[in-house]
Structure 1
Amino acid sequence: MRALYLAVDGGNSKTDVLLGTADGEVLGFVRGPTTSPHTIGLPGTLKVLVSLITAVREEAGLAAATPIDLAAVYLAGADLPIEVERLQAAITARGWSRATLVDNDCFALMRAGTSLPDAVAVVCGAGNNCVGRAADGRTARFVALGPISGDWGGGHDLAEHTLRLAARGEDGRGDATVLSAAVAGYFGRATVEDVSIGLHLGEIDLLRIRELTPLLFAAATEGDAVAAGLVRRQAEEILAQHRVAAGRLGLLDARHALVLGGGVLYARHAVLHDQVVAGARAQAPLVEISVLDAPPAVGAALLALDALGHSPAAEQRLRAAMRSASPTTAVPAVAIENAG
């Protein structure tokens, strides 16, 4: 009988779960909400995973008694060793598989982007994170607890700073910028001051601030100096993460992959992408840079296949299958309501 695996990629906004075989066949693929324990707590994480794993087994037509050999679970929020240990213990205790691998979702993204054993992955989506690995098994990572651990960047930070710069540019505390008119116009207000008051009074949902990131990149592309400065700060942060992670692993002068992922980097805004590529090559001349073009869940599946001892043909089959695969949406509403 073919070995079976579960592969989970749980990000801050969604979770993908695959059920597949060691020869690269995909039997089921479902998608649900976040499973980050930082957002919904460990009990909430487990409840959502129960629903999604049940759904993917049903989609695959897997009998209840059919055992699964390995679960490879990669989650946002698995940042500290103690968090990984707790997740590993809790998931193992559920008995979903004979063996369990648990780690941060950045490792899944990295594996989806490269087969090189020496690699660094930088994720710039809603937030920012980075991990690295060397062929000898060493890893490099950051505490990644947000501002309290020195983190900065990603779509949410960029959007908040866009609003701040627009306000300061309008009232004179900062340099004049086209962001002021752009932000006011986006919310249908005469001034950024009106936008700020609307946010304060609840007339505008605070979550809508997150919608401002495209305005930043549009202004930077048009040559606005204030917007360009903020984009440059993001590029410098991404390059610092790569430099430190690769440096800790002794890879700055060696051939290695740099995988770029997350919505901000996936968009390939030239004003950001070109700075990152040039800067990475300046600090690591042998680096091979790619922007992830596959779902990170592919990486979780490949890490499962690596552990099961797959053939190169199995990886090719999996990647080919996932290029045209669409997940079934499985939203475990009850799990979300009771999470936390």
Structure 2
Amino acid sequence: MGLTAPRTPTVLAVDAGNSKTDVAVVTAAGDVLATARGGGFRPPAVGVAAALDALAEPVARAFADAGVASVTQVSACLANADLPVEEERLAAALRERGWGASVEVRNDTFAILRAGVAEPRGVAVVCGAGINCVGMRPDGRTARFPAVGRISGDWGGGFGLAEEALWHAARAEDGRGGPTALARTLPAHFGLPSMYALIEALHLGHLGQDRRHELTPVLFATAADGDPVARSIVTRLAEEIAVMAAVALTRLDLLAEETPVLLGGGVLTAGHVQLDDAVRGLLAVRAPKAVPRVVTASPVLGAALLGLDRLGAGDAARQRVRRHWEPPAPPAA
């Protein structure tokens, strides 16, 4: 099939994370013409041009499968687009690619939010490698945080949790801190006999820095076994999630209204009972009208829905595209 200009309004939906990218071509009627997957989107590591070159590969496959050369609307939800100025720069770079007549770039947390709500109204907190929170209203108002690490007041995320666990475990072993089972469980995960051996392996590069994220599930398992230090770290994460959501709701004047609070990212979708219960308990105090819910749908659905919002698509189109990605409901008991 040759590539042509789209006969009907279409959306190129992009959800580009640090580890993988999903793209889809969707019509204004909600029909999914093609999908494709690519690698991670990391402009800070490789530069904007190289990151877009990598993105071009799955886009080209999706365009070829859909039989189009361009679309009406590019709706791109991108990791590392943490500030509005970064969204603007990435949108300008995407326009130069000529993939669509109009381009809108948002932080990838907006994809999680839009995937979890029937209309663009609510708050999402995402906790994966890092942590972020955004909110939106149908009138276009948004609430967000810079979310670029400790310099912007952030705490949490998989890497932050692993770092905190290592800190407590190191001090427990050498006597600067109180006892914690983390001093045993963290090195044991890598088959090492002590925290000293783990510190040495990380410092000398025998274990790659990217393997630190493996310690986050170890932290949660140690907390589930009752270790007080590990449990205190999990509680602190729950407090951070609740306060971010409450602040976003306040900024959007939604604190007094029943409003969905969507929870996404690997840490928040893993089913950690202590964390889940603590988040819900804290939200009940800080934001009693909040309705917390874990988002399991693919974030590219959110990017597609944001694009359909831009095209003014109706409810039937949004429901059709949602059925393509949302997991089927479990059978009744």
Same fold (TM over 0.5): yes
Return the match for 1:5 from 6, 11, 34.
11
Offset of residue 324 of structure 1: 6.7
How far apart, in 2, do the equivalents of 1:202 and 1:90 lie? 36
Corresponding residue for residue 133 of structure 1: 136
Specify the SS of the correspondent of 1:273: helix
Structure 1 contact 18–297 (Cα < 8 Å) conserved: yes
2:41 pairs with 1:35: yes
Between the aligned partners of 2:151 and 2:162, the Cα distance in structure 1 is 19
* 2:115 paired with 1:109: no
Q: Secondary structure at the match of 2:267?
A: helix
Distance 1:106 1:194 in 2: 37
User: Using the alignment, how far apart are the partners of 1:260 and 1:323 within structure 2?
Assistant: 16
1:73 counterpart (49, 72, 76)? 76
Kindly indicate whether the alpha-carbon contact (under 8 Å) linking 2:243 and 2:286 is maintained by their aligned counterparts in 1: no
Q: Which residue in 1 is equivalent to 2:239?
A: 236
Pair 1:48-2:54 in alignment: yes
Judge conservation of contact 2:162–2:213 (CA < 8 Å) in 1.
yes
Q: Which letter does structure 1 place at the counterpart of 2:96?
A: A
Alpha-carbon contact 1:116-1:256 (below 8 Å) kept = no
Cα distance change of structure 1 residues 323 and 137 upon mapping to structure 2, 3 Å threshold = closer
Q: Does 1:24 align with 2:30?
A: yes
Provide TM-score, normalisation by structure 1. Answer: 0.90
Q: Does 1:90 align with 2:93?
A: yes
d(CA) in 2 for partners of 1:123 and 1:237? 11
- For the Cα contact (< 8 Å) 2:297–2:327, is it kept in 1? no
How many residues are treated as equivalent by the alignment? 322
Task: Look up the SS of the partner of 1:126 in the other structure.
Answer: coil
Distance 2:313 2:263 in 1: 26
- How many angstroms apart in 1 are the aligned matches of 2:202 and 2:128? 24
Q: 2-side partners of 1:184 and 1:79: how far apart?
A: 34
Structure 1: give runs of 5+ residues left out of the alignment: 326-340
Contact 2:128 2:266 in 1 (8 A): yes
SS in 2 for 1:35: coil
* Aligned equivalent of 1:147, options 150, 154, 157: 150
In 2, the alpha carbon distance for the partners of 1:251 and 1:85 equals 27
1:214 positional shift: 0.8
Q: Which has the bigger relative contact order, CA under 8 A and spacing at least 6?
A: 1
Q: For each residue in 1:293-324, what CA deviation from the matched residue of structure 2 results, as whole angstroms up to 9, or x when unmatched?
A: 10110000011111112222222221222247
- Matched position secondary structure for 1:98: strand
CA distance in 1, matches of 2:298, 2:46: 23
Look up the match of 2:164.
161
Q: Runs of 4+ in structure 1 displaced over 3 angstroms?
A: none
Decide whether aligned partners of structure 1 residues 63 and 183 sit closer, same or farther in structure 2, where only a CA change above 3 A counts.
closer
Q: Which runs of 5+ in 2 are unaligned?
A: 1-6, 329-333
CA distance in 1 between partners of 2:89 and 2:232 (Å): 41
What amino acid sits opposite 1:182 in the alignment? T
Identity %: 47
Secondary structure of residue in 1 paired with 2:212: helix
Q: Give 1:63 deviation, angstroms.
A: 4.6
1:89-132 CA distances to partner (integer Å, 9 max, x unpaired)? 12112211111111111111100011244311111000000111
Question: In terms of mean alpha carbon deviation, does 160-169 or 234-243 score higher?
Answer: 160-169
Report the CA distance shift for 1:19/1:117 in structure 2 as closer, same or farther (over 3 A).
closer
Look up the match of 1:189: 192
TM value normalised by structure 2: 0.92
2:319 matched residue in structure 1: 316
Aligned to 1:120, the other structure's residue is in SS state: strand
In structure 1, the residue matched to 2:253 is: 250
Judging changes above 3 Å, is the alpha-carbon distance between structure 1 residues 116 and 306 closer, same or farther for their aligned structure 2 residues?
closer
How do 1:50-65 residues align onto structure 2 when only pairs under 5 Å count?
50-60=56-66, 62-64=67-69
